[in-house]
Amino acid sequence: MGEMKLITCNSNRELAKDVASYLDARLTEADVQTFADNEVFVRINENVRGHDVFLIQSTSAPANDHLMELLITCDALVRASARRITAVIPYFGYARQDRKTDGRTPISAKLVANLIHKAGADRVLTVDLHAGQIQGFFDIPTDNLIAGPVFVQDIKEKYGSKDVMVVSPDVGGVVRARALADRLNCDLAIVDKRRPKAGVSEVMNIIGDVKDRACIMVDDMTDSGGTLCNAADAMLNAGAKSVSAYVTHGVLSPGAAARIDKSRLKELVCTDSIAASEEVANAKKIRRVSISHLIGEAVRRVANEESVSKLFDY
């Protein structure tokens, strides 16, 4: 791979290993440790001077620890004279705080973008940002990959063209759902919901006829799973034949996997952008698909100065 080097911290080592395997490369040896007082320490154990370095690290739970690992590793690479540092962030934490929702509240996504830039990253590679405008929060080149190609292939293998209908679980996700429906050449429905408070959703209405259809909800992330479970109930009550969900980032906070298993969802499919907890790994209704080849191909294209947007032509 010439002057390219891959390095990872502790958030999702399995995904990093799979990306390295796709590229027929190996991970650069590094120590990423936490002292007794929870301070992060990083040591790069190989020469990276003049190299094109790709740092793979999701900022998933514990978000603050993994974010600090990312920032401190960036600083270590800068001081080790890496030629270019690309922060590969499969899951970009704090993305839901992308605007002021009330008086005296932060725009944390912008703050985190600034921190990554100031830490020394020269460009960012991420997957399915919660909101497309977050790309504009970065003052460095940012590639936002989409998991759509992976989902399309899996849906075609599992469902074929048997009365499939793509469903957006809220109005904000219509663009994402429409793109998937276009690729599958199927109809689109929308769940109209309101959110009385953070983390709580209530289905109000379903826009579209879901009767006797195999409904597939698509979203960028799920945390508690409440939205998906409530929407599944509403669609099944409206006559849907089955309801499944495809979600890029399975945040799945404690208790979410159990809620999914007890729900009327047929299954929840999510990518490996976030390392699976024991609860998620053992859940009966949660299945994971890998995006390692998608990230690996994007890394290869960036390293070779090729077009990344071609990956979206699926």
pLDDT, tens digit, for every residue of 102-142? 899 999 999 999 999 999 999 999 999 999 899 999 999 99
| pLDDT of 55 strictly over 80 | yes
Alpha helical stretches, state H, 185-272: 226-237, 256-262
Tokens of 153: 């292939």
Backbone angles phi, psi at 214, to 5 degrees: -85, 100
Cα 248 from Cα 2, distance rounded (Å): 32
Measured in Å, how far apart are the chain's first and last C-alpha atoms?
26
Cα 64 from Cα 218, distance rounded (Å): 28
User: Which positions make up the binding site?
Assistant: 37-39, 96-97, 130, 170, 195, 219, 223-227
Q: In angstroms, what is the C-alpha Rg of the chain?
A: 20
| pLDDT of 162 strictly over 80 | no
Order of strands, edge to edge, in the sheet holding 200-207?
A: 200-207, 187-197, 164-168, 214-222, 242-250, 268-271, 286-289
Tokens of 15: 């995904």
pLDDT grade, residue 196 (50/70/90)?
A: low
Which residue do the tokens 């911290």 mark?
Answer: 9
| pLDDT of 199 strictly over 60 | no
User: Which positions make up the binding site for D-ribose 5-phosphate?
Assistant: 195, 219, 223-227
Tokens of 64: 């603050």
Average pLDDT for 253-261:
96
pLDDT grade, residue 148 (50/70/90)?
A: very high
Given this model, what pLDDT does residue 201 score? 59
CA–CA–CA angle 176, 249, 191 (5° rounding): 45
Higher pLDDT, 268 or 161: 268
Exposed e or buried b for every residue in 16-48, given b needs 16+ CB within 10 A? bbbbbebbebebbebebeeeeeeebebebeeeb
Given this model, what pLDDT does residue 1 score? 47
Given this model, what pLDDT does residue 47 score? 96
Cα 244 from Cα 266, distance rounded (Å): 5
Question: Nearest CA to 86 among 149, 23, 142, 14?
Answer: 142
pLDDT grade, residue 314 (50/70/90)?
A: low
DSSP structural state of residue 306 = -
| pLDDT of 76 strictly over 70 | yes
Given this model, what pLDDT does residue 203 score? 60
Question: Nearest CA to 154 among 22, 14, 293, 3?
Answer: 293
* Domains of the chain in sequence order: 4-145+293-312 (3.40.50.2020), 148-290 (3.40.50.2020)
| Percent with pLDDT over 70 in the chain | 95
User: Which positions make up the binding site for ATP?
Assistant: 37-39, 96-97
Active site residues: 193
Contact assessment for residue 308 and residue 135, using Cβ atoms and an 8 Å cutoff: no
Cα 16 from Cα 14, distance rounded (Å): 5
Average pLDDT for 282-303:
97
DSSP structural state of residue 289 = E
